[in-house]
Amino acid sequence: IGDGAPTGNYGYTNSGYSVYEEENERLTESLRTKVSAIKSLSIEIGTEVKNQNKMLSEMDNDFDSAGGLLGATMGRLRTLSRGSQTKLLCYMMLFALFVFFVIYWIIKLR
């Protein structure tokens, strides 16, 4: 057909074309393996994010309940502190005297 042009292979020799084709196949397979690894890694990351979000939600609920409990305790302490100070002071003095006499009695028995 042409002047010395090979027929049927469009100017490529069989050995050169197959080398490029094999290299393309190898690179394609390598790319396919890397994409598969990235896909599985992204799925694992998504699963871990879901688990962490669930754990954070549970911790938020726990902190809310602890905050409510602490608020109730502080309310009780405020009520106690607003009560009669003299009554509380008398109880503390009686307790201190009791402890003092117990310690004195233990030392005396030695």
| Amino acid letter for position 11 | G
Domain boundaries, the chain: 14-83
Q: Which residues, including other chains, have CB under 8 Å from residue 5's CB and lie 6 or more apart?
A: 11
pLDDT in tens, 18-45: 888 999 999 999 999 999 999 999 999 9
From CA 77, how far away is CA 30, in angstroms rounded? 69
pTM over 0.85: no
Q: What is the three-class DSSP state of 6? A: coil
12: left (phi over 0), alpha (psi -120 to 50) or beta: beta
Higher pLDDT, 7 or 54: 54
Q: Assess whether pLDDT exceeds 90 at residue 91.
A: no
Q: Assess whether pLDDT exceeds 90 at residue 96.
A: yes
